[in-house]
Amino acid sequence: MVHAIRIHEHGGPEVLRWDEIEVGEPGPGQVRIRQTAVGLNYIDTYHRSGAYKLPDLPAVIGMAGTGVVEALGPDVTTLKIGDRVGYAMSIGAYAESRLIAADRLVPLPGWLDEQATAATLLQGLTAQYLLRSTYAVQPGDTILVQAAAGGVGLLLCSWARHLGATVIGTVGSEEKAELAKAHGCHHTIDYTREDFVVRVKELTNGQGVPVVYDGVGRTTFLKGLDCLRPRGLMVLFGAASGAPEPLDLGLLAAKGSLYVTRPTLATYTAKREDLMASAADLFDAVKNGGVTFTVNQRFALKDTADAHRALESRATTGSTVLVP
């Protein structure tokens, strides 16, 4: 028996319960891992609240973590007991030990810290597909990152700068502005004091940017369209402030033949080979200094409710790890 954070009903952080559960032995294609660290990601709050409904309750939530393989299913040949592994987008992370499909696990290089990787892997893989696939950032591009001091935002800033882009980022305080700048953001805009559309136009000599990366949603989406140059791309990859209102497609024509996409990490890493290629690119960026895996907040796994409260109140910056 091990402990896990489960929800028995959807709701606020108070529904997160520290339960004792039985994990069992791995079946075909599975391994059991002893978890060394668990990542906190905004999608976890959607599963908890019911914004993303789960089919069966009670359920262990959480999408990312690191650990050590301690048991193999009968047909697993790609891993061995004792391997250090990480994963993202595999629900069931909020536990001391868990079963997981072997083909969803990424072997960790020996030089990677497990806590920092758990805190950052889902966000890092998200930054990878956003910058390298959804819109392939090129040297000389100027991009806009909404919520630049968030977990994904900081990674987008540092990696995009490493790729040769000029990064404009929106933040909600002076403290967050300094953090974003420390991670590579060239120009920060405090949206509590400035109109970010006006400022973006000033910074781009009235032209706008080719791409906006928006993980905020409702409060920034429509104004973000006004930051794009003609034929620019709005990448809505999250909705921390809620989902945007339904979009009148005629606005895209009126604002310059714009494009909009709503990508997900699950789609970009659905195939094993895509997951491994994305992870390899991410780990190379870490090794080469383009991306830094850091932990800004730590909570005990049993105190996950406090971590959710901090995340949803925007009291956190960067990445957060839950320690079993």
CATH no. for residue 300?
3.90.180.10
How would you classify residue 111: left for phi > 0, otherwise alpha for psi between -120 and 50, otherwise beta? Answer: alpha
Same domain, 115 and 143: no
| Distances, alpha carbon 104 to alpha carbons 55, 119, 156, 269, in Å | 21, 17, 24, 9
Q: 2-38, pLDDT tens digit by residue?
A: 999 999 999 999 999 999 999 999 999 999 999 999 9
Same domain, 152 and 86: no
pLDDT for residue 150 is more than 90: no
Residue 129 in domain = no
Same domain, 13 and 115: yes
The domain total for the chain is 2
Same domain, 67 and 173: no
- Give the whole-angstrom CA distance, residue 322 versus residue 47: 17
Per the structure, the complete domain to which residue 34 belongs is given by: 2-119+294-322
Q: For strand 228-236 and strand 209-214, is the pairing parallel, antiparallel, or unpaired?
A: parallel
pLDDT for residue 84 is more than 90: yes
Same domain, 63 and 89: yes
The model's pTM: 0.91
Are residues 157 and 178 in contact, defined by beta-carbon separation less than 8 angstroms?
no
Q: 70-79, pLDDT tens digit by residue?
A: 999 999 999 9
Nearest to 271 by CA among 177, 133, 117, 65: 133
Are residues 118 and 38 in contact, defined by beta-carbon separation less than 8 angstroms?
yes
Residue 178 in domain = yes
- Give the whole-angstrom CA distance, residue 306 versus residue 228: 38
Last residue of a domain, one of 242, 262, 282: 262
- Give the whole-angstrom CA distance, residue 15 versus residue 308: 11
Nearest to 163 by CA among 211, 118, 122: 211
Q: 235-278, pLDDT tens digit by residue?
A: 999 888 888 999 999 999 999 999 999 999 999 999 999 999 99
In sequence order, what are the residues at sequence separation of 6 or more whose Cβ sits closer than 8 angstroms to the Cβ of residue 140?
164, 165, 166
Average pLDDT of the residues of the chain: 95
Last residue of a domain, one of 246, 262, 278: 262
Q: b/e for 260-294, b at 16 or more Cβ within 10 A?
A: beebebeebbeeeeebeebbebbbebbeeebbbbe
Number of C-beta neighbours around residue 195 at 10 A? 12
Q: How confident is the model at residue 159 (pLDDT cuts 50, 70, 90)?
A: very high
Looking up residue 199, the CATH number of its domain turns out to be 3.40.50.720
The DSSP code for 198 is H
Number of C-beta neighbours around residue 59 at 10 A? 17
Q: What pLDDT was estimated at residue 173?
A: 92
Q: How far is CA 177 from the centre of its chain?
A: 20
Q: What is the mean pLDDT of residues 95-106?
A: 97
Same domain, 145 and 249: yes
Q: Which two tokens stand for residue 284?
A: 């190379």
Indicate the residue type of 12. Answer: G
Same domain, 242 and 300: no
Provide the terminal-to-terminal Cα distance of the chain, rounded to the nearest Å.
14
In sequence order, what are the residues at sequence separation of 6 or more whose Cβ sits closer than 8 angstroms to the Cβ of residue 28?
73, 74, 75
Same domain, 258 and 139: yes
Same domain, 147 and 173: yes
Same domain, 139 and 254: yes
Q: What pLDDT was estimated at residue 309?
A: 97
Residue 275 in domain = no
Same domain, 165 and 65: no
Last residue of a domain, one of 262, 277, 305: 262
User: DSSP labels for 269-297?
Assistant: T-SHHHHHHHHHHHHHHHHTTS-----SE
Residue 125 in domain = no
